[in-house]
Structure 1
């Protein structure tokens, strides 16, 4: 009996120490977490007509320097306006520097440096093991700087390392993730960021214990080591069958969905879609430009072509010439800067 009592007391003490450690960690890292407010254009159906309207968005992110913030691609990818709200209440505008849809990660840059910035560091996600405790800080449903904790439940990795566009790696967790958490940091118990909160799997629409965060190592590789400039266009890759349906004069193309007006592709005059449709259970927009080639590199859904496009994009500097060959209303035209 005495042995059992000692064991119970030991377990309770361990839990209390863990709670105290988590509370202290939260106090240390929380000032680096930010709320991201966006405004983007969305297509709305009004009777027999459709029109583009402004839509407000909400997400989370975190500071890695006095000017740089990491977040999720779907939070800022086609945002016409990005505002960052800090722990002290200050709000600073930002622009998107780089973004990758498949791993759902993005880097944004502040309009001016944040004074007395609190920053966090990226840990080594390869060292993370299933069963480790983690915690997430973000703004679920607008409740800024909320904490949830849980465990790493698994790891999912897809893609070829030579091609940056289809690479992704996620940590699965049961830590609560809801609308507004996207882009926020997932921390280990050393206070290092090991993931960027991305999405959940759900039947009800709410959190059901299965959430995903892009790993810190995929972030380092794609956003920090070989950053590719943000294009400002949301695109949908067309399969060979879909290309035939749309009379595309080659096996594959990139169907433009939405374009940020002030972005590099927006300034070229690239046009987005105007009509909602569904192809193979996927909702898309039709009527926009279809990109056939970028600076002479003809688009194909092969690893070789995607690697060429990745190498080209990583080498682009401000002011370099850009030529897009697009299919628009049945005609092939060239868009140049």
Structure 2
């Protein structure tokens, strides 16, 4: 009987120690997690070039790097944001701008306006070492409840190639840890307190969490850190095929239709205009009426190969350099120039 009591005590003590250890781990990394608030403007698409509607959004992110000026988050949280505000653990806040973004992988790198010297940066772990069944936990801002913690396992790992993103590998962890609106962009930690994923989305038929959540792996996030992701240009664009060009009377067999321009973005300061009239051609929905990009510096947008060259060229843009873009606006060809800040 004494042995049974001793065994029960040992098990109880072990469980208690484990719980305390996890609580300590959460406390250690929690202050690296931030809330992200965004303001975005979109044209209503009813035929008025000035008919914009404003909306607010919210997500999560995590402070990384020794300089304490960078935040990792999800691309869809900030891609269309005209203003980004980062709120820290103690309620203090500062603005931020997008430095790198990869919408296919759904990862973005923000740069803070002020150094976050009072808060710890989270270390980046090796997602390649994670196995299905490994324990993880997520901290974020679900439904506005800042610094909420959920715990689960790696339920699966999905790897795919994307022809739309220059054949770069995409990797996502599947998890059963609870994810809700506002968790997007928040960190997924391993049990060493290292970031191994950035929360991306849920698969749901009800609109709520159903046990299927997804996070971009830290290896994809590191691609952004190594500047393999795209520089944020601030546009939503449609690559036009030769048939599309004929429909819109474009004087070449390829071009880029500017659907939307984010306020305070490089494209905005360049003077590009987005669309303002919703249309549907076949199965493709577009926002027509905006600028058509014909050429960017020496790159003419007349083929899919040149359009990919354009995306790569954006990544080489340098501060202080002047860039020229040829557009079709209202039936007239115009030339714009812009000096990158």
Stretch of structure 1 that moved more, 33-42 or 20-29: 20-29
Give the 5 Å matches for 1:1-337.
Answer: 17-44=17-44, 51-65=51-65, 66-159=68-161, 167-226=169-228, 228-239=230-241, 242-278=244-280, 283-299=285-301, 302=304, 305=306, 308-337=309-338
Distance 1:40 1:325, change over 3 A: same
Instruction: List per-residue Cα deviations over 1:108-157 (Å, max 9, x = no partner).
Output: 11111123221101111111211212111110111100111112122222
Stretch of structure 1 that moved more, 242-251 or 8-17: 8-17
Deviation, structure 1 residue 47 = 11
Instruction: List per-residue Cα deviations over 1:21-70 (Å, max 9, x = no partner).
Output: 33222111110000011111023378999820211110110101321111
SS at match of 2:199: strand
- 8 Å CA contact retained: 1:106, 1:223: no
Contiguous gaps of at least 5 residues in structure 1: none
Q: TM-score, normalised by structure 1?
A: 0.86
SS at match of 2:223: helix
Distance 1:301 1:129, change over 3 A: farther
Q: TM-score, normalised by structure 2?
A: 0.85
Q: How many residues align?
A: 336
SS at match of 1:322: strand
- 8 Å CA contact retained: 1:71, 1:183: yes
Distance of 1:301 and 1:14 partners within structure 2? 64
Distance 1:160 1:234, change over 3 A: closer
Which of the pair has more CA radius of gyration? Answer: 2
Contiguous gaps of at least 5 residues in structure 2: none
Deviation, structure 1 residue 321 = 2.0
Stretch of structure 1 that moved more, 32-41 or 320-329: 320-329
Stretch of structure 1 that moved more, 76-85 or 277-286: 277-286
Instruction: List per-residue Cα deviations over 1:143-191 (Å, max 9, x = no partner).
Output: 1001111121222223369966865321111211111111110111111
Stretch of structure 1 that moved more, 257-266 or 79-88: 257-266
Aligned-residue CA RMSD in angstroms?
3.4
- 8 Å CA contact retained: 2:327, 2:333: yes
